[in-house]
Structure 1
Amino acid sequence: MADAVKTEGDALLRVTNASDVGASMQRRSFLKGAAAAGAAVSIAGRALAQGEIGYWSKDLPNDKLVDMYRTIVRIRWHERTMADKMASDPNYRGYNHFYAGQEAIASGVCAALNNSGGVMQADLVYSTHRPTGHAIAKGVDMKKMAAENEFKATGLNGGYGGEMHLSDPEVGFIGADGMIGPGPVIATGSALAIKARGSKQVVVNFGGDGTYATPHFHGTLNNAALLKLPFIYVLENNLYHQYAHYSYSCPMKDIAEAAAPYGIPGVVVDGQDVFQVYNAAKTAVERARRGEGPTLIEAKTYRYYNHWGAPGVKPGELGAFGYDPLAITSFRPEREVRAWMQRDPVNIARDTLINWGVFDRARADQIEAAAKQEAIEAFQWAAAQPNCKEDGALSRVFASGEPVPARQFG
C-alpha cells in the first residue's frame, strides 16, 4: 500500500513506496487511502466517500495509462523544441505562448473524452491563447500545427490562423481564442446545440486564472447551470495571468469556490498529477453525459516559461529564468519557478507508472525519446513548407465572391 502525503496549503499528492502494484484492486485501494488522507477533492461540490462508485485512473488498462504518459511527453517536447526555435532560430516566424509545466491537465482531461468522429460525434474542446498542449492532447496533427504556427500554407488553417487561432474540427478541437474570456460563451453555445439535438457529446472549455475576473466566466457558469448544459470549465490556475498574480483579481484562494453560487460542483485538483486530473474530468464528463449539467474544475499548476516568447530561455534547457523586458521586472521569483519544476508532470506520471508496474524506466525513456524525435521532425517539416500568400487571407473574410481589398482597407 502506498503512502500519500498532503502538502499543507495546496493539497498536493505525492506517491512513495509503492509495492504489489500490478493489481487493479490495489490501485483502487491506493486512491481511497489518498482520499482519506486529504487529496484534493470537491470544494463547492461533493467529494466521493469511500465505497462509492468513482472514476479511478488506477483501474485503467495499462495501454491507456501509457498513452496518457505518451501524450504528456509529446506535449513537453513540442514545447521545448518550439522554445528552442524561438530563442535561437532567426528565421522562425512563430508567435508562441508555451504550455510546458501544464501538460498533465490537457492530457488528463482529453483522456476522458471521445476524440474521434468529427464535430457531430466527438466531444468538443475550446482552447485559449496557450493552445498547443490542448491541441496535441485532443489529437491534432503535430506537423500541421507546427506549420500553422509559422504561418505556412500547409498548416492546419492554411497559415492564416497562427497559434492563437488553431482549429481542427475533425478531432473536435474547435479552436483557440486569442482574447481572454469569450471562449466559454461560444463553447456553451455548442453545448446548447448538443443538448437540443440530443447527442451525448460534452463540451470542454480550457481557461486561465485571469478569466475569473471577466463577465464571460460568470455568465457562462450561470447559463450552463440554468440550462443544465453538457459543459465543463477547466480553469488552469498557473498563478499568473500575463504578469500579475491571480490574487490581484480573485478574492478567493480556490477559484473553484465560484461554482457554489451557481449550484454546480467546483473541484480542485493537483494539475501536476495527470491521474488526479483524469479522475476529476471523467467524473465531470459522465455527469454531463447523464444530463446533470456543468462542472468547474480548477487545476493548480505552473508554467515554466514566461507569458509568451523566449525571454530568459536558453536553448537546450527547460524553463525561463530572470528578467522579462515586457514585464519591466522579473515578475516571478526564480525559487518559485524551480520549486514548481520539482513537481514536474512528466516525472510524476513516469515515476507513478513505474511504481504501479505499468512499465520500467527503460520503456519510459524510449517513449520520451520517440516524442522528442517526433517534435524535431515536425518543426523541420514545417520550416520547409511554403509561406501562406499575403493576399490569400482576404479570401477567408467574406462568405462568397472574390476578395476586394477596398472593402477591407478602404
Structure 2
Amino acid sequence: MSDHDRSARGFAERVPSSTRRSLLKGFAAAGAAVSLSSKLAWADGEIGYWAKDLPNEKLIEMYSTILRIRWFERTLADKQLSDRSFRNLIHLYAGQEAVATGVCAALNNKGPFSEIDVIYGTHRPTGHAIAKGVDMKKLAAEYNFKATGLNRGYAGEMHLADKSVGYMGADGIVGPSAVIAAGSAFAFRARGSKQVAVAFGGDGTYATPAFHSSLNNASLLKLPFIYVVENNLYHQFAHYSYSCPMKDIATAANTYRIPGVVVDGQDVTQVYNKMKEAVERARAGEGPTLIEAKTYRYYAHWGAPGAEVGKLGSFGYDPQAITSWRPERELRDWLQRDPVDICRNMLISWGVIDQAKANAIEAAMKQEVKEAFEWEAQQPLCKPEDAVKNVFVQGSVPARQFG
C-alpha cells in the first residue's frame, strides 16, 4: 500500500461511517480516474499505450516487416550497383521502414476486398507494398519488368498495385493519389462500410493542390481518410523548407479543422499508436486525420549514387555529384536512430525477444528476400508486343511491325 493510500484510509477511519462510505466511494472513483488518465497518457508517451498492449506475436510481426523492407531495399541497392541485368531505376525506401510498418499494422489487411482497408502509395513504394502484404517474389519480378511480376511487368516500380491486399497503387506523379484515396473514403462512407482509406505522401506533396483538396473535402464530408506525410526532409534534392513555410507540415490540419499529428517516424510503436487513434476516429465517423512522420531516407532520391555494395546508405560529398544535396554528417546522425535498431532494442527491453531470437528473425527475413530475388531471376521478361495489351478495358490494339 502506498503512503497516499495509507493516509487516505487513516483519514477515512476518523470520520462517521456514513461519511466514510461516501469518502471511500470518492477515493474509488478518483482511483478509476487516475487509472484511466494513466491509460490515456500512454497514448502520448514514448512507449504508447496501444503498442504496449499488443501481443508479442504482433510486435514480432512488425519487427519482421521492418526487416523484410530493409533487406529488400538493400538488395535493390546492390543490384543497382552491380547487376547489369537489373533494368529499373528505383526510388529506395530504406530508413523509413517504421512508417509503413506502423501505419499498416493498425489497418485491417485480411479478408474480402469489401472489408479490408486500402492504401495509396507514392513513387517510393516498396515499404508500403510489403507492409500491406504484397508478395515479395512477384514484387521483385515486377521491379525488373518480368512477365510473371505483380502486374505482369507493365507497372515497373512507380505504378505497381495489388488490389487483393488493398494496395491500390503507387503514384508516379507526386500528389494525385491523395484525391483518389479520398474518393475511396467517400465510397466507403456511401455504402456504410467501416473501411478506411490511407494516402501516403512525401513532404513535397504539401505544395500540390491534391494535398489541400483531399483534406478539404475529407473534412467537409467527415470521410474515413488518413493522410500520412513521410517527411524525410528532402523532395528530390531540395529541403522541404523551400516549399513549406511551417516547421511541421501537420500544422496544415488546423486549416481544415482536423487533427494534425507529428510522430517520430523512426519508432514503429509511436507510428502505430497515432495511426491506431486515427483509424478508430475514422471508423467512428469522426472524419480524417493528418499524420506527419518525421523520418529520413538513407539513399539518394533515385538509384544508388554514392552507395557501395554491402553498405547501407549513400555517402560522400562532391559539389559536382548528385550526393551533394545533404551533409554526410546528417545521414550519419540519422543512422544512429535506425528504425531496425530502435524496434529490436525495444522488444528486447520488453522481454518479447532476446538477442538470439532477434538475430534468428533477421536471418529468416534475409533468406525470404534472397529467395524472392532468386525466383525473380528465373522469370521471363515481358515481350515487346505485350506493350499494346491492356490499353483499353475492352478490346486490344492491333500489333504493328516491331523491329
TM-score of the aligned structures, taking structure 2 as reference length? 0.87
Query: Of residues 150, 155, 163 in structure 2, which corresponds to 1:161?
Result: 155
Partner of 2:127: 133
Partner of 1:388: 382
Partner of 2:395: 401
Query: Of residues 193, 205, 212 in structure 1, which corresponds to 2:199?
Result: 205
Flag the 1:31–1:62 CA change in 2: closer, same or farther, 3 A. Answer: farther
Q: Please state if 1:123 is matched with 2:143.
A: no
Flag the 1:318–1:267 CA change in 2: closer, same or farther, 3 A. Answer: same
Deviation track 1:257-311 (CA, whole Å, cap 9, x = no partner) reads 0000100000000000000000000000010000100000000000000001010
- Residues in 2 aligned to 1:127 and 1:277: alpha-carbon distance in whole angstroms: 17
Partner of 1:101: 95
- Residues in 2 aligned to 1:375 and 1:74: alpha-carbon distance in whole angstroms: 7
Letter in 2 for 1:375: V
Partner of 1:337: 331
CA shift for structure 1 position 329: 5.7
Letter in 1 for 2:267: D
Deviation track 1:321-371 (CA, whole Å, cap 9, x = no partner) reads 125899656101000000000000000000001000101010011001111
Partner of 2:22: none
Partner of 2:235: 241
Query: Of residues 345, 350, 365 in structure 2, which corresponds to 1:356?
Result: 350
- Residues in 1 aligned to 2:79 and 2:318: alpha-carbon distance in whole angstroms: 18
3-state SS of the aligned residue for 2:95? coil
Flag the 1:324–1:69 CA change in 2: closer, same or farther, 3 A. Answer: farther
- Residues in 2 aligned to 1:125 and 1:34: alpha-carbon distance in whole angstroms: 24
Partner of 2:312: 318
Q: 5+ residue gaps in structure 2?
A: 1-34
Letter in 2 for 1:130: R
Partner of 1:231: 225
Structure 1 stretches of at least 4 aligned residues deviating more than 3 Å after TM superposition: 28-36, 323-329
CA shift for structure 1 position 315: 0.6
Higher relative contact order (CA 8 A, sep 6+): 1
Letter in 2 for 1:238: N
Q: 5+ residue gaps in structure 1?
A: 1-25, 41-53
Partner of 2:250: 256
- Residues in 2 aligned to 1:189 and 1:35: alpha-carbon distance in whole angstroms: 31
The 5-angstrom pairing of residues 286-301 of structure 1 reads 286-301=280-295
Letter in 2 for 1:295: T
Matched-pair contact (CA < 8 Å) for 2:50–2:273: yes
Flag the 1:222–1:326 CA change in 2: closer, same or farther, 3 A. Answer: farther
Partner of 1:78: 72
CA shift for structure 1 position 113: 0.4
TM-score of the aligned structures, taking structure 1 as reference length? 0.86
Letter in 1 for 2:337: R
CA shift for structure 1 position 94: 2.0
Q: Please state if 1:148 is matched with 2:142.
A: yes
Matched-pair contact (CA < 8 Å) for 2:116–2:166: yes
3-state SS of the aligned residue for 1:269? strand
CA shift for structure 1 position 401: 1.8
Matched-pair contact (CA < 8 Å) for 1:84–1:316: yes
CA shift for structure 1 position 374: 0.9
- Residues in 1 aligned to 2:39 and 2:365: alpha-carbon distance in whole angstroms: 30
- Residues in 1 aligned to 2:332 and 2:376: alpha-carbon distance in whole angstroms: 32
Query: Of residues 262, 265, 277 in structure 1, which corresponds to 2:271?
Result: 277
Q: Please state if 1:179 is matched with 2:179.
A: no
Matched-pair contact (CA < 8 Å) for 2:109–2:117: yes
Matched-pair contact (CA < 8 Å) for 1:209–1:236: yes
Matched-pair contact (CA < 8 Å) for 2:77–2:304: yes
CA shift for structure 1 position 405: 5.3
Query: Of residues 361, 366, 391 in structure 2, which corresponds to 1:367?
Result: 361
- Residues in 1 aligned to 2:272 and 2:282: alpha-carbon distance in whole angstroms: 15
Partner of 2:184: 190
Matched-pair contact (CA < 8 Å) for 1:225–1:294: yes
Matched-pair contact (CA < 8 Å) for 2:228–2:291: yes
- Residues in 1 aligned to 2:321 and 2:210: alpha-carbon distance in whole angstroms: 26
CA shift for structure 1 position 395: 1.4
Flag the 1:35–1:187 CA change in 2: closer, same or farther, 3 A. Answer: closer
Q: Please state if 1:379 is matched with 2:379.
A: no
**Larger-gyration structure (1/2):** 2
